[in-house]
């Protein structure tokens, strides 16, 4: 059966030495995409990396960071809550949390030719990343969690009343 709705309150957590990914939608569940929260604590940054087979788009939910672009990281862009970011396929990039609190964004990888055959699931992709960087997959994959990331109604309620008296 096709799944249309994915619960962001109970993602599967992967805690890498450089960052955290909370998987919302596995690539096996989409025709050409996957979705996850990326959480960077102050000073954290995943290694410079490239998605040759995907355009990555993300929406910043909280915090401040700098994104470096290019093999030599010669271009930088400051990021903050509310920004929408696009990295085209084949673009080397990395994001570093530069603020005093965590940096969180909703990331969606859009595969240009469908999910890669060599890594058809998120776990297979994480296993490849762990092998490349010398990380222990079993230590990285923490399992399903209760998320503390505010999205939807919780985020709107915390925004307070609007000029008309309603909640933003």
Q: Where are the domains of the chain?
A: 12-135
Q: What percent of the chain has pLDDT over 90?
A: 83
Q: What is the pLDDT of residues 3-52, one digit of tens each?
A: 999 999 999 999 999 999 999 999 999 999 999 999 999 999 999 999 99
Of the pLDDT bands very low, low, confident and very high (cuts 50, 70, 90), residue 1 is: confident
Q: How far is CA 125 from the centre of its chain?
A: 14
Please tell me the CATH code under which domain 12-135 is placed: 2.60.120.10
3-state secondary structure of 142: strand
Beta strands in 63-102 (DSSP E): 64-69, 75-80, 84-87, 93-97
Q: What percent of the chain has pLDDT over 70?
A: 90
Query: Does pLDDT of 167 surpass 80?
Result: no
Q: Mention every residue, 6+ apart, whose C-beta is less than 8 A from residue 5.
A: none
142 phi and psi angles, rounded to 5 deg? -90, -15
């Amino acid at each position: 059966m096709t799944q249309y709705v994915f619960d962001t309150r109970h993602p599967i957590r992967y805690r890498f030495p450089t960052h955290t990914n909370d998987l919302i939608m596995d690539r096996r569940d989409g025709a050409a995409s996957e979705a996850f929260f990326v959480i960077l604590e102050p000073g954290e940054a995943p290694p410079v990396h490239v998605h040759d087979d995907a355009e990555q788009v993300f929406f910043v939910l909280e915090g401040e960071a700098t994104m470096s672009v290019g093999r030599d990281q010669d271009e930088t862009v400051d990021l903050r809550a509310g920004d929408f970011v696009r990295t085209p396929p084949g673009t080397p990039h990395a994001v570093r949390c530069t603020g005093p609190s965590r940096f969180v964004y909703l990331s969606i990888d859009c595969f240009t030719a469908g999910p890669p055959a060599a890594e058809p699931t998120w776990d297979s992709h994480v296993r490849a990343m762990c092998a490349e960087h010398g990380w222990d997959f079993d230590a990285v994959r923490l399992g399903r969690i209760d998320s503390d990331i505010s999205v939807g109604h919780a985020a709107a309620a915390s925004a307070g009343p609007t000029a008309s008296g309603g909640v933003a």
